[in-house]
Amino acid sequence: MASENADGTYSPSEEYRKRTYIDSYAKYEEMYRKSIEEPEEFWTEQAENLDWYSKGWKKVFDWNKKASTFTWFKGGKLNACYNCLDRHVEGGLKNTAALIFEADEPGNSRVYTYGLLLSEVEKFANVLKSKGVKKGDRVAVYLPMIPELAITVLACARIGAVHSVVFSGFSTDSLFNRVQDSDSKVLVTCDGSYRGGKTLDMKGKVNEMLERETSVDSVIVVKHTGKDVVMEDGRDFWWHEEMSKADLKCPCEQMDAEDPFFILYTSGSTGKPKGVLHTVGGYMLGVTITFKYAFDYRPGETHWCTADLGWITGHSYVLYGPLSNGATTLMFEGVPNYPDNGRFWEIVENWKVDIFYTAPTAIRMMRKSGDEWVRKHDVSSLKVLGSVGEPIDSSVWKWYYEVVGNGRCPIADTYWQTETGSHIILPLPGAWNQKPGSAMKPFFGIEPVILNEDKTPTPVGQDGRLCIKKPWPSCARTLWGDHEKYKETYWNPYPGYYFSGDGARQDSDGDIWITGRVDDVISVAGHRIGAAEVEAALIAHPAVSEAAVVPIPDEMKGEAIYGFVTLKNGFEDSEELRNDLVKQVRNEVGPIATPKTIQIAEELPKTRSGKIVRRMLRKIASGSDFRSMDASTLVDPGVLDDLVKGRR
Ligand code: PRX
C-alpha cells in the first residue's frame, strides 16, 4: 500500500506503473511538448485513435481569432456511432459487454453486448427516421438513466441528428425552454422513473409542457415503470411498438468532423441556459484519448462513471469515451444510499468494476455514512479512481484514496467543463506523484494561463482566473443560435484566451489548484446552477419584488443556495411564504436548485447605478465578516446591518 510521502504527495505503486501508458513525467513532458510545439503532427497522430471514412482535411486546425471560430480536421469524415459500436463489432467484440445497466432496485440488471447494442441502435435510428428526423435535425431526450437513453443518443449520432439531452430531474419549464431553444421536432421520454425506491412521473410533466405551443411533433415514450399515462393519438408513440416495426439495418451517415454533434444546455450568468454545441470530430477525439489516458483504460476493463447522461460527464465518460475505446461501461439508474449506504460498493463488487469515477459530493456522503459500508464489500477489483465536478478537499481525497482505493489506486482529479468537452487539467495517474486536492497538469494541447482581472499573469501562489491559450479539439464551437454570446462569454473577457469562469492558482511546482467559479454560477452537489435562473424563478412569484441568490458553503453538497428576497407592497414575511418560494424554484427550475434558505429583506445592497452587490450578500449569507469590505459604493450602507440581523 502506497502511503503519503514526506512532502504530502502520493506516488503510484510499482504495480500501478505496470498498467499505465505514461509512466514517467519525462514521457508526459515529451508528449505535451509535442502537442504544443508541433500540434499538427501531434493531433494527426492522435486522430488514428478514431476510424475515419476520409482523412480529407486540408488543415488540422484553423482559427479565426476575430470571429472566435475555429475548426479541427474540417473535411475529414467520420461517424461517432460507428466509432462507438460498429468498429468494435467488426473488430471481434460482438459478444463483449458494452453496457451494463444496473437498475434502481438491486437485482435488476441488463447487459448489452456490442452486437446487441448496435442492433438496438440501428432499429431506433430507423424509428427516428420514420418520424421524419434527418441529418442536422434536433432531437430532445428527456429520459432517466436507462439503456434507452444511450440507445437514443447513439441512434441520433448514427443518422447525424443533433441530440439535446435534458436532465430528467429538470422541471416542465426547464424542459420547455430547452426544447424550444433547440427547436426539437421529436422528443424521446418515458412513462416514469425510479429513484431510491420511489417512482417519479415523467410523461405527466411532458404532457403539461405540450399543453403549450412547442416545436415538438412526435413523442416516443419508453414504458419503464408501467404506470398509466395519457398518450395523445398521432403525437405519442410507444417505444416498444415502434421498435417492433422498425427495419433492422441503418447505415451510418458520413459526418464532417465539423458537423454539429450535440447540444447540451448549461447554466451561465444570465437567466437563459446556454446551448453548448460540440462538433463530431474534435469532441470524439477529445473523449477517446482522455478516457484512455486519464484512467489508463486497458481492454477488457469495466468502467463505472456515476454521472447522469443529462450532464456532460455522462455524455463523455458514461458513453462516448468508454464506448469509443471498446470498454464495458456501467450505467446506474439509482442513488448511492438506496437500499442502503453500501449500494455503490455492492455494484463495484458484483460487476468487478476496474475504474470508478464519481463526484466529491458523493464521496463526502459516503465518507459520512462510515467506512464499514465500503469494508462490507470486496472492492479489490478497483484499479483507478476518478473525481470530477468540484474541487476535492484533501481530507476527502485521502479518505477516497485510503478507504475506497485501499492505498492502491491513484485518483484522477479531472478538471473540465461542459464547454471543454473532455478533461483539460488532471493528474495522469501513473506519471507522477499526486497532490491531494490539486488537478495538477494540463492535458495534451492545453496551455493554461492564470490571469489577474487586469489581464496580467498572476504570480505563483496567488489566485487568478483560469484561461486557456488557443482552442483544443473538443472545445465547444458556439452557443446554439447565439455566437455573439459565445464570444462575449468565453473569448472576449481575456482577448486571445478561452476564459473558463473558474478561479485557480499555480503552486511553485507549476501544479494547478482550482478554487471554484468566479461568476454567478453556483455548484450544488457538483451541478451547475445559474444564480440568475433561480432569481428569475423567485421574481416570477407574485409576492416578490427583487431577488438575489448566492452560494453558501455546505458540508455535503459543496455549495448550497441562499436567496435574499424583497417583497412587493401588501406582502409580509412568513414561514408559509418562504416555503412557497422554495416550492416555486423547485417547480420552475427543478429540485436540484432548491434553495436551502430564503431570507426576506427590506432592501438589498445596491450601487448608485442600481446593481445589487452580490459579493457582500455572499459574505452575509455565509456569516463571514462583511465589514472588511468597502461599502462606500453603496447607496445605503445601513442595509447591511439589517441583512445581518435578519440572517437565517
Ligand atoms: O467550477 C468547475 C467545476 O465544474 C464546472 C463545470 O461544470 P459542468 O460544465 O457542469 O461540468 C461538470 C463536469 C465536468 C467547472 O467550471 N469543476 C469540474 N471539475 C472540477 C471542478 N472544479 C474543481 N476540480 C475539478 N476536478
Name the residue at shortest CA distance from atom 18 of ligand 1: 389
Asked if pLDDT for residue 628 goes beyond 90, the answer is no
Query: Which residues have C-beta within 8 Å of that of residue 341, sequence separation ≥ 6?
Result: 366, 369, 370, 373
The widest CA-to-CA distance across the chain, in whole angstroms, is 73
Q: How far is CA 586 from the centre of its chain?
A: 20
Asked if pLDDT for residue 609 goes beyond 80, the answer is no
Asked if pLDDT for residue 629 goes beyond 80, the answer is no
Q: Which residue has the higher pLDDT, 530 or 320?
A: 320
- Say how far apart CA 175 and CA 173 lie, in whole Å: 5
Grid-cell match 432569481, residue found: 535
**Strand ranges (DSSP E) for 20-161?**
61-64, 69-72, 77-78, 97-102, 109-113, 138-141
- Say how far apart CA 239 and CA 187 lie, in whole Å: 12
pLDDT of residue 607: 83
Task: Give the 3-state secondary structure of residue 386.
Answer: strand
191 CA distance to ligand 1 middle (Å): 32
417 CA distance to ligand 1 middle (Å): 5
Number of other residues whose CB lies within 10 A of the CB of residue 241: 13
- Say how far apart CA 543 and CA 447 lie, in whole Å: 49
Asked if pLDDT for residue 304 goes beyond 90, the answer is yes
389 lines ligand 1 (CB under 6 A): yes
Mean pLDDT over residues 140-164, rounded? 98
- Determine whether 234 is exposed, middle or buried from the number of CB atoms within 10 Å of its CB (0-12, 13-18, 19+): exposed
- Say how far apart CA 648 and CA 646 lie, in whole Å: 6
- Average pLDDT over the chain reads 95
308 lines ligand 1 (CB under 6 A): no
414 lines ligand 1 (CB under 6 A): yes
Name the residue at shortest CA distance from atom 11 of ligand 1: 417
Nearest to 614 by CA among 549, 552, 569: 549
* Helix segments in 405-518, DSSP class H: 483-486
Name the residue at shortest CA distance from atom 12 of ligand 1: 389
Whether the predicted model's global pTM rises above the 0.85 cut: yes
If one residue of 392, 426, 502 were mutated to test the ligand 1 pocket, choosing by the most ligand atoms within 8 A of its CB, it would be: 502
In contact, 511 and 456? CB cutoff 8 Å = no
In contact, 344 and 357? CB cutoff 8 Å = no
If one residue of 390, 418, 489, 527 were mutated to test the ligand 1 pocket, choosing by the most ligand atoms within 8 A of its CB, it would be: 390
- Say how far apart CA 258 and CA 254 lie, in whole Å: 12
Q: What pLDDT band is residue 262 in, cutting at 50, 70 and 90?
A: very high
Task: Give the 3-state secondary structure of residue 445.
Answer: coil
SS (H, E, C) 179-216: HHHHCCCEEEEECEEEECCEEEECHHHHHHHHCCCCCC
- CA–CA distances in Å: residue 225 to residues 148, 222, 496: 13, 9, 51
Asked if pLDDT for residue 624 goes beyond 90, the answer is no
179 CA distance to ligand 1 middle (Å): 25
- DSSP-derived letter for residue 1 is -
Percent of all residues in the chain with a pLDDT value above 70, rounded to a whole number: 100
Burial state string for 343-354 with b = 16 or more CB within 10 A and e = fewer than 16: bbbbbbbbbebb
Domains of the chain: 525-645 (3.30.300.30)
390 CA distance to ligand 1 middle (Å): 5
In contact, 34 and 41? CB cutoff 8 Å = yes
Atom of ligand 1 nearest to the CA of 418: 9
What is the rounded end-to-end Cα distance, in angstroms, of the chain?
46
* C-alpha dihedral (377, 382, 386, 391), degrees to nearest 10: 50
Task: Give the 3-state secondary structure of residue 646.
Answer: coil
Asked if pLDDT for residue 626 goes beyond 80, the answer is no
Phi, psi of 2 (to 5 degrees): -80, 130
Question: What pLDDT digit, counting tens, does each position of 6-60 carry?
Answer: 999 999 998 899 899 999 999 999 999 999 999 999 999 999 999 999 999 999 9
439 lines ligand 1 (CB under 6 A): yes
DSSP 543-577: TEEEEEEEEEEETTTEEEEEEEEEE-TT----HHH
588 lines ligand 1 (CB under 6 A): no
- Say how far apart CA 431 and CA 21 lie, in whole Å: 8
Name the residue at shortest CA distance from atom 10 of ligand 1: 528
Least confident of 177-181, 424-428, 465-469, 635-639: 635-639
pLDDT of residue 162: 98
Q: Establish how many alpha carbons lie within 13 A of residue 541's alpha carbon, considering only the half-sphere containing its beta carbon.
A: 26
pLDDT of residue 1: 59
Least confident of 263-272, 465-474, 576-585: 263-272
pLDDT of residue 273: 87
Asked if pLDDT for residue 288 goes beyond 90, the answer is yes
Mean pLDDT over residues 77-83, rounded? 99
Atom of ligand 1 nearest to the CA of 527: 10
311 lines ligand 1 (CB under 6 A): yes
Asked if pLDDT for residue 606 goes beyond 70, the answer is yes
Question: What pLDDT digit, counting tens, does each position of 393-414 carry?
Answer: 999 999 999 999 999 999 999 9
- DSSP-derived letter for residue 311 is S
502 lines ligand 1 (CB under 6 A): yes
- Say how far apart CA 437 and CA 643 lie, in whole Å: 34
415 CA distance to ligand 1 middle (Å): 6
